[in-house]
A = this chain, B = another copy of it.
Amino acid sequence: MHSVNASVITIGDELLIGQTIDTNSAFIARELTRIGISVRRMVTVGDDWQAIRHVLDEESRDADVIIITGGLGPTSDDITKPLLAQYFGGRLVEDEQVLAHIRYLFEHVYRRPGPLLERNRRQAEVPDNCTVLMNTRGTAPGMLFRKEGKMFFSLPGVPYEMQDLLTRQVVPLLKNELPLPIIVQQTLLTVGVGESVLAEKVSDWEARLPNHMKLAYLPHFGTVRLRLTSNGNEKNGLEEEMEARFAELKELVAEWLVADEDITLSQAVAVLLKSKKQTVGTAESCTGGYLAHLLSRDPGSSSNFKGSIVSYDNQVKIDVLGVSPQTLETEGAVSETTVRQMAAGALKRLGTDFVVATSGIMGPDGGTERKAVGLVWIAVGDRAGIEAKEFHFRFDRSRNIEQTSIAALNMLRKRIVSQQRG
């Protein structure tokens, strides 16, 4: 079977000046990979007629599917749509269904009744040689063009709108029309180990994998996910083979294994807590609420996350968490005794089964000779007691906040596991 190849083209001057980070290409690549389409190239160009023509010529040479995002907003210079019309040999016409949808959005969703601005009305214009893909989340419609057996999709650049169009219209169309392989994937999550140590550990095993199986390393702030992907034409054989190989992989990395599914560390914590109907809260100094955010951002987190005391200021540590002023004076806010008292205070205040507390120096300022930037104390506690640990990070402020949160979640996870085992 010929493998189906894709190119992703992103259009926008704001990307070329670095003002916007392109998250669309990764989202598109993930969805296409999932259905067995190989993304071979991703290209970003500006709102420029020649550059867009050139990239369309170039990318359609080797790719079967070309996905284009951006260049359709009300403030772009209206280049992309007329260009696509011309490129595929058509002309712009106003689409009634799209116009009605735009009017509806302005009246009922954006609550800006009255006549449409000319630039918004023009969003209803589409090349007469495309199939319109209705954008339920915004004003710019998606478009499908066909040329020489290849499919070209033009989608809006707003991620929220693009994602809906891609998953609900583009992907089903592709699955329906193209001869795609069966893809089987399994992912596991490790914490507390680097990419090179993992690679060394699994290298012999990896070398013996059959050609149709690939292992990917996906590192992210102190966690590394390992994803095993297999593809072929028959589902059954693939799945059994995957089960066997994935079991071997889990065995190899057992000492760092957190989850044998594609979830985050905070989701792994939530799974543990939910299994015993237990709850958690945080007492945060240096992480400033970020740990609470990680524990509350997923749907359904209210069943296990109860709340936090963010005691950035020492007075809040004293007043709300009951940390002793003497401790703060003699040992300082970044100390074992302080995080232990923070954890004890949070257990009492929040009434949760578990708590985790953080205090550290995130930088760039605030370091001293005895306590350098990157020094962090973390405590976890429950009715049975409190344990604390010292960490040294060596990154910049925002990475230190991320790393501290990951380390805290991992200490919390280990504590929950050991307590649940009893």
Contacts and interface: CB of A to CB of B under 8 A. Distances in A.
Interface of A: 13-23, 25-33, 38-46, 51, 55, 58, 73-75, 109-110, 117, 119-120, 160, 194-197, 199-200, 216-218, 225, 227, 279, 281-282, 284, 288-293, 295-297, 299-302, 305-313, 315-316, 319-320, 349-351, 363-366, 394-399, 401
Contacts of A289: 282, 284, 289-293, 295-296, 308, 310
Copies of this chain in its oligomeric complex: 2
A30 B13 CA distance: 12
A15 B26 CA distance: 7
A145 B358 CA distance: 46
B299 A397 contact: yes
B14 A218 contact: yes
A26 B33 contact: no
A305 B320 contact: no
Nearest to A215: B75
A293 B290 contact: yes
A18 B30 contact: yes
B29 A17 contact: yes
Contact of A292 (B26, B195, B288): B288
Contacts of A27: 18
Contacts of A315: 306, 351
A160 B396 contact: yes
Contact of A45 (B13, B28, B40, B200): B40
Pairs of residues from A and B, 7 with the lowest C-beta to C-beta distance, nearest first: A289-B292, A288-B296, A18-B30, A18-B29, A289-B289, A308-B310, A307-B316
B19 A216 contact: yes
A307 B300 contact: no
A237 to B, nearest CB: 23
A297 B18 contact: no
